[in-house]
Amino acid sequence: MVSRAPEGGSKVTNGRQLFIDGDARLKVSRRFRDVLASIAMDLGGVDRLSEGQKQIARRCAMLSVECEIMESAAVAGQPFDLDAYGQLTDRLGRAFQRLGLKRVMHDVMPDLGAYLTATAAGKSQDGLGAVTTADTTSAAERSASGPRGQ
C-alpha cells in the first residue's frame, strides 16, 4: 500500500471538503456536518478517532439525517414508509454499537430543594408555570363570588 503525504490526499481526507461531490452549503449538508461533529465529540473528538471510526461515524451521521428527513415529511403529512424508517433506525442503532457509543442513563429527577425553591418563587419546572392563579380558581369559588361584571 502506498502512503501519501497529507498534502497529496483528497480534499475530503485533508478536511477541506465535506463530500467528494455535492454542495456543502445545502441545509442537509450542514445538518450532516453538525451531526457528524456531535458524534465525533461523543467519542472524544475527531483527532482521537481511527479512520475506521471516522467512516462509521459518517455512516451514522448520514443515517441520522435520512431519518430526520423522513420525520420531517411525516409531520408535514406526506407519505411515510414505516418499514424503511424502522430499518434505518435499526441499522443506525447497530452502527452506533459498532462505533462504541453506549446508552447512558441520566438522572432526570429534579433536586427536591431546587424544585421547592422554584415552586416558591412561582416558577414551575414542568411547563405549567404559565397557568395563572386566576385560571386555577375553582368553579365553587367563582360561583360564590357571583356573576361576572357585578
75 vs 109: CA distance, rounded Å: 30
Residue holding cell 450532516?
Answer: 32
Q: 17 with 24: CB under 8 angstroms?
A: yes
Model pLDDT, residue 26: 82
Per-residue pLDDT of the chain (150 residues; tens, 9 = 90+): 555 545 566 555 555 655 556 676 788 888 999 999 999 999 999 899 999 999 999 999 999 999 999 999 999 999 999 999 999 999 999 999 999 877 666 677 777 787 788 778 765 555 444 444 444 444 444 444 444 444
Q: Which amino acid type is present at position 131?
A: V
pTM of the model: 0.58
Model pLDDT, residue 149: 44
Q: 23 with 29: CB under 8 angstroms?
A: yes
Q: 32 with 61: CB under 8 angstroms?
A: yes
- Other C-beta atoms within 10 Å of 16: how many? 9
* Boundaries of every domain in the chain: 6-99, 112-144
**Residue 80 three-state SS:** coil
Residue holding cell 483528497?
Answer: 10
Model pLDDT, residue 53: 94
